[in-house]
Amino acid sequence: MSSSTTQGQDIARLIISCPDQPGIVAAVSELISELGGNIISLDQYSTGVEGGRFFQRTVFHLPGLVAAKPQVEAAVEERLAQRFAMEWSLTEADKPKRVAIFASKTDHCLLDLLWRHRRGELPMEIAMVVSNHPGLAEDVRTFGIPFVHVPVVNGDKAAAEAQHLELLQGNVDFVVLARYMQIISEDFLERVGVPIINIHHSFLPAFIGAGPYQKAKDRGVKLIGATAHYVTEDLDEGPIIEQDVIRVSHADEVAQLTRYGADVERSVLSRAVKWHCEDRVLRNGNTTIVF
């Protein structure tokens, strides 16, 4: 994928997917040109020319984008979407997505996101941090970000999730689970209505489930890893966004694997979040395309 700076005012991103057929790239670029736009970056991928699905992310500059957006959307719908049976979305590059970050007691992923956000690396607005533990409140508030403690009282997870839904609905565009140690219910998933990114502390599909570093130690692997993925009903089975690994040795105890793993987790999660914010991650069944 390109890493060039394609942020800023009057910059739009058109994300499309449709059955593959000749002429899609030309049709999209002609339309953008006609509307007065200038293409900055264009990535595409097809799962196969015959019967495959086509995906494209087009970044373009259009003077007066905010005012023109309804007109652009209408043109895309009429001129492209119907002709190509296209699913699409149009976003403004300088309009950051709003996110809620969920955490528990472990701080490394959360702090890394907060710090990168403050540095300007992550084009998002952090609406709130939600935790089932109060311990990270002070750290979070130092960054000037609201911290909401939602404990699970008497094991009543449903009540906690109801409170989560109230906090989230209408307020956020996606959720990040930054080592949040509670299982998300299917009911919550259906109702929340926004994508959820999770960081799993193993190189999936190896060591699914709890205690992956202990499992890695027992199996004697020579590399450990972490995986950022979208959350689906199947635990640890959702579409993978990003993964990475680090070399370990026989001499590393589980505690040391955990420390090494923390470094991989935070870097993998931050990349996944950044790419999601930039509309680079397209879902294709249970896999992702990352432009």
Residues labelled as active-site residues? 236
State the DSSP code for 193: -
Choices 123-131, 168-176, 193-201, 256-264 (CB under 8 A): range interacting with a second copy: 256-264
Q: Which of 253, 255, 242, 249 is nearest to 221 (CA)?
A: 249
User: Does residue number 278 form part of the binding site for a second copy (CB under 8 A)?
Assistant: no
Residues between 90 and 119 with contacts to a second copy, criterion CB under 8 A? 107-108, 111, 115, 119
Q: Which of 238, 258, 277 is nearest to 106 (CA)?
A: 258
The secondary element (H helix, E strand) that includes residue 29 is: helix 24-34
User: Does residue number 263 form part of the binding site for a second copy (CB under 8 A)?
Assistant: yes
- 151 to 190: interface string for a second copy, x by CB under 8 A: ----------------------------------------
User: Does residue number 214 form part of the binding site for a second copy (CB under 8 A)?
Assistant: no
Residues between 53 and 72 with contacts to a second copy, criterion CB under 8 A? 61
Q: Which is nearer to a second copy, 3 or 154 (CB)?
A: 3
Torsion-angle region of residue 85: left (phi > 0), alpha (psi -120 to 50) or beta?
left
Residue whose pair of structure tokens reads 């200038």 in the numeric block: 38
- Residues that bind a second copy (rule: CB under 8 A) add up to a total of 72
Q: Which is nearer to a second copy, 37 or 132 (CB)?
A: 37
User: Does residue number 44 form part of the binding site for a second copy (CB under 8 A)?
Assistant: yes
CA pair distance 235, 184, nearest whole angstrom: 9
Residue whose pair of structure tokens reads 């999601």 in the numeric block: 276
CA pair distance 163, 218, nearest whole angstrom: 39
Near a second copy by CB under 8 A: residue from 57, 239, 265, 269: 239
